[in-house]
Amino acid sequence: MAAALLWGQGGAFFDSVSLNRAMTSIYLDAATAAPLHPVAHQALQAAADDGWHDPSRLYGRGRAARRLLDAARETVADVLGVTAPEVSFTANGTAAIATGIAGALSANRRRGDVLVHGAVEHSAVLRAAALHTDAGGRRTSIGVSRTGRVDVDAIEAAVAEGDVALVAVQSANHEVGTRQPIARIAEVVEGAPLFVDAAASLGHDAVGDHWSILAASAHKWGGPSGVGVLAIRKGVRWHSPDGFDGHRAETPGGLDIPAIVAAAAALRAVETERNTETDRQRAMVDRLRHEVPAVVPYVEVVGDPEDRLPHIVTFSYPFESGEPLMLELDREGFAVSAGSACSASRLRPSHVLEEMGVLATGSIRVSLHPGVTEEDVDRFTETLARVVARLRDDAGATDL
The pLDDT-based confidence of 8 (bands split at 50, 70, 90) is very low
Residue-level pLDDT at 16: 42
Instruction: Assign residue 298 a region (left: φ > 0; alpha: ψ between -120 and 50; beta: otherwise).
Output: left
pLDDT tens-digit readout, 46-104: 999 888 888 888 999 999 999 999 999 999 999 999 999 999 999 999 999 999 999 99
Specify whether 342 is catalytic.
Answer: yes
The pLDDT-based confidence of 253 (bands split at 50, 70, 90) is low
Name every residue whose Cβ is closer than 8 Å to that of residue 116 and which is 6 or more positions away in sequence: 139, 140, 142, 155, 158, 159, 164, 166, 167, 168, 192
Percent of the residues in the chain that have a pLDDT greater than 90, as a whole number: 78
- The DSSP result for 154-170, as a single string, is HHHHHHHTS-EEEEE--
Q: Mean pLDDT check: name the lowest of 6-10, 252-256, 382-386.
A: 6-10
Residue 307: HSE in the Cβ half-sphere, 13 Å Cα cutoff = 10
Average pLDDT over residues 360-368: 91
C-alpha torsion 75→76→82→85, nearest 10: -90
What number does CATH give the domain 25-31+274-395?
Answer: 3.90.1150.10
Return phi, psi of residue 204, to 5°: -120, -20
CA distance 33 to 352: 19
For residues 198 and 190, the model is more confident at 198
Q: Where are the domains of the chain?
A: 25-31+274-395, 38-268
pLDDT tens-digit readout, 237-251: 999 887 654 445 675
CA distance 333 to 22: 8
Judge residue 9's burial from the number of C-beta atoms within 10 Å of its C-beta, 0-12 exposed, 13-18 middle, 19 or more buried: exposed
What does DSSP assign to residue 312?
Answer: E
The pLDDT-based confidence of 395 (bands split at 50, 70, 90) is low
pLDDT tens-digit readout, 35-48: 999 999 999 999 99
Strands 26-27 and 334-335, by their bridges, are parallel
CA distance 41 to 288: 31
Neighbour count for residue 16 (Cβ, 10 Å): 11
Cα of first residue to Cα of last residue in the chain, in angstroms, is 53
CA distance 271 to 114: 35
**Considering 299, 342, 352, 366, which one is annotated as catalytic?**
342
pTM: 0.91
pLDDT tens-digit readout, 211-223: 999 999 999 999 9
Architecture of domain 38-268: 3-Layer(aba) Sandwich (3.40)
